[in-house]
Structures are given as C-alpha cells and as structure tokens.
Amino acid sequence: NAGVTQTPKFQVLKTGQSMTLQCAQDMNHEYMSWYRQDPGMGLRLIHYSVGAGITDQGEVPNGYNVSRSTTEDFPLRLLSAAPSQTSVYFCASSYGRRIYNEQFFGPGTRLTVL
C-alpha cells in the first residue's frame, strides 16, 4: 500500500492564481480531511469528507474548495491564492468515523504564495 499520497511536494504561486492540491489514499478509508500547518498554530482543519459525495467545512474553510467524487481522491482547490495561504498542507484519512480510529497523514505540500 502507498498509504496517503500528495502532489505536488512544493509549489510557488503568485497572488490570484488558482491551483489544485491532489490527495489520494489506497486504504479504502471513508474519512478524509485537509489540514494546514502554520508555525506555532498546530494543525487546523480546512475541509473534511465522511464519504464519496459528502464534504463539510472545518475550522478555516475560506478560500478553499473540495469535492469527493471517489473514495480514493480528495483534491483541495485554492480559488484565488493569497499570501495568507502560504503554509504546509496535509491530507489525512481514517477508517470510518469512529473516534478511536487514528488518522494517516500524507507527506505534505509546502505552498508559497508571493
């Protein structure tokens, strides 16, 4: 199993550009989520999904869109990049919504917006 994969690893954007961060998992996990990690702020939840066709907002959803057309894929779209979106982005998945199930994280995408 590849686990959770993310592409690209690094990306530089100019203000106003759009892009999609890709996330895929091969563990047949129902639950997937996107976090951003900023210095001194831990991980903050952007969007999450409890299954194909179902998504919901997390703590910091503004400026981001998601969709979940398949169990495996959960892309994150930046609509119009802003310097405040400079961050490291992690995708995670877990088996179902049971609270005792741990999350599996991808290696992250480091995004810089100029």
Q: List, as one string, the DSSP characters of 89-113.
A: EEEEEESSS-TTPPPEE---EEEEE
**Closest separation in Å from C-beta 77 to another protein:** 21
Can you tell me which of 13, 21, 31, 87 binds another protein, judged by CB under 8 A? 31
Instruction: Compute the least distance from the CB of residue 114 to another protein, in Å.
Output: 22
Reference 67, options 102, 32, 95; nearest CA is 32
Give backbone dihedrals phi and psi of 9, rounded to 5 degrees, phi first.
-80, -35
By CB under 8 A, which span of 21-29, 40-48, 61-69, 74-82 interacts with another protein?
A: 40-48
Nearer Cβ to another protein, position 19 or 45?
45
The Cα 48–Cα 111 span in angstroms is 20
40 sits near another protein (criterion: CB under 8 A): yes
As a whole number of angstroms, the distance between CA 69 and CA 67 comes to 6
User: Which of residues 46, 106, 111, 113 is near another protein by CB under 8 A?
Assistant: 106
Nearer to another protein, 6 or 85 (CB): 6
How would you classify the pairing of strands 109-113 and 10-13?
parallel
Does the footprint of another protein cover residue 58 (CB under 8 A)? yes
Quick check: 107 binds another protein (CB under 8 A)? yes
